[in-house]
Structure 1
Amino acid sequence: MTTLQQHGGDGPHPTSATATEPAAPPTAGVARVLERMRELDHALPADDGVAVFNRVYLTVTEAVAQRVGDGGFADPKATGELDVQFAHRYLTAVDADATGLRPPACWRPLFHLRRHPRIRPLQFALAGINAHIGHDLALAVVDTCRALECEPPALEGDFDRIGTVLTSLEEGIRETLMPGPDLLDIADPLTHLIGSWSLAKARDGAWAAARMMWGVRRFPELVEEFADRLDASVGLIGRCLLTPLG
């Protein structure tokens, strides 16, 4: 039995559920995250760049919560903890911006350019996903390992299952937010931009970064330096994704 399973043993094992049993509700932490995201969805103008990303993230979080309730993860407690730690970093960035504080560098392009008239909704969505996956996910894995007193490999299976949910939603997100069939033209700038970023590669990079930070966690100055450089590099990618188009 892994360390993670030992810490997550208070919930029902997924194999104990039957087809006739109702899905379990999301944990209190995940429920609060969903409530906050829905509040933002109602409060922000529909064309606000942060609102565009928030709608995407709300859809993803609802899908993960549904799978947790349906027994789709090996350790629902650990998945719920990772989901909450992950969302906390995004919501903290939202609060920082709203109160005049500086959010992490990875989020600044989206907050600074959220109302730019020549940036398309798909760009806003991808810039938010880039910040959240490229930077926040790695730190959330480390936070979850600390909270549950486990090693990253204990989270890997459910981390990959969450990745499957993200990948399944990515194509629909792109199709929904693509402005028109003319963008099938390979020379179109937006076609070039969306083809230059990969969710799967960003997720793989986040996992590698999390393992590295966990491996050197006894050297906090090194962890902080690495996290700062990761933040800055992800922010640079976000700025490129938000290049205004004609």
Structure 2
Amino acid sequence: MAQSQQLTGTVDAVVLRMRALDADLPERDGVAVFNRVYLAVTEEVARRLAVGHFSDPAAAVTLDVRFAQRYLAVAEEEHRPACWRPLFQFRRHPGVRPLQFALAGINAHIGHDLALAVVDACRALGCEPADLEDEFERVGDLLVSLEERIREDLMPGPDLLQVADPLTHLLGSWSLERARDATWSAARALWALRGLPELAEEFGRRLDAAVGLTGRMLLTPLPYRPGGLRARV
């Protein structure tokens, strides 16, 4: 088997776990909404690996799989970092819209898990964060492009997008690109602190708490709108 096939197969194993979660979760469950978004992202990573999109496929797979494993551990276990707790607490709240669930999950995974995954990948590969920057940016660009699709698929109709609508305010309060930039800085800081475990642990706890606070804001229950929203990605 060629190396590219082996690498794609590694990502495919992650895809299978996400598909199993999708089959088990109720369609309108908040975690299910995020899981479908992340499944679409991971399937696209596998497709791009197969066509040679990444300059260092082995590094891209290591980063992608370490990244995904952190989410899967959260989804399949009950002990969860602070950044994920709001999504799991509000996953069935009738006042939270599907787009809010999707963005809250992306916020937790990008804002917290990705920084730790960069450190995990550097340790596994014996490299520095700078050596993974190209793969980090390529995955980030994919997420940004898919965010546009997510907003289109989960956004309410134009008649609901008035300036005074609370959802409009929430959507303007968070940016994936800004979150990605902050994550890269956090990953570099965590790597620089690897020789100071107590300080690194404190930094990680504070990062977790700050991302969790943002997630709680994104999940603010909003007034019910008749007609419902699409919940599939």
Give the TM-score band, short-chain normalised.
Answer: over 0.9
What one-letter code is carried by the residue in structure 2 that aligns with 1:172?
R
Give TM-score, length-normalised by structure 1: 0.87
The 1-side partners of 2:96 and 2:7 are apart by 35
Give TM-score, length-normalised by structure 2: 0.92
- The answer for unaligned runs of 5 or more in structure 2 is 224-233
Contact 1:110 1:124 in 2 (8 A): yes
Counterpart of 1:211 (choices 168, 188, 195) is: 188
Q: Does 1:69 align with 2:50?
A: yes
Q: Which runs of 4+ in 1 moved over 6 A?
A: none
Correspondence for 1:164: 141
Correspondence for 1:105: 82
- The answer for unaligned runs of 5 or more in structure 1 is 1-9, 13-23
Correspondence for 2:20: 39
Cα RMSD for the two superposed structures: 1.3
What one-letter code is carried by the residue in structure 2 that aligns with 1:234?
V
Correspondence for 1:147: 124
What is the SS of the residue equivalent to 2:88? helix
Correspondence for 2:114: 137
Q: Does 1:82 align with 2:59?
A: no
The 2-side partners of 1:227 and 1:28 are apart by 31
Q: Does 1:178 align with 2:159?
A: no
Contact 1:189 1:245 in 2 (8 A): yes
Give 1:27 deviation, angstroms.
3.5
1:9-61 deviation per Cα after TM superposition (whole angstroms, max 9, x unaligned): x947xxxxxxxxxxx46534312210000001111000000000000000001
Q: Which has the higher contact order (CA 8 A, sep 6+)?
A: 2
What one-letter code is carried by the residue in structure 1 that aligns with 2:112?
H
Aligned residues between the structures: 222
Give 1:158 deviation, angstroms.
1.2
1:182-217 deviation per Cα after TM superposition (whole angstroms, max 9, x unaligned): 232111000110111000010111100000110111
Correspondence for 1:225: 202
Give the % identical residues.
Answer: 65
Correspondence for 2:92: 115
The 1-side partners of 2:190 and 2:122 are apart by 11
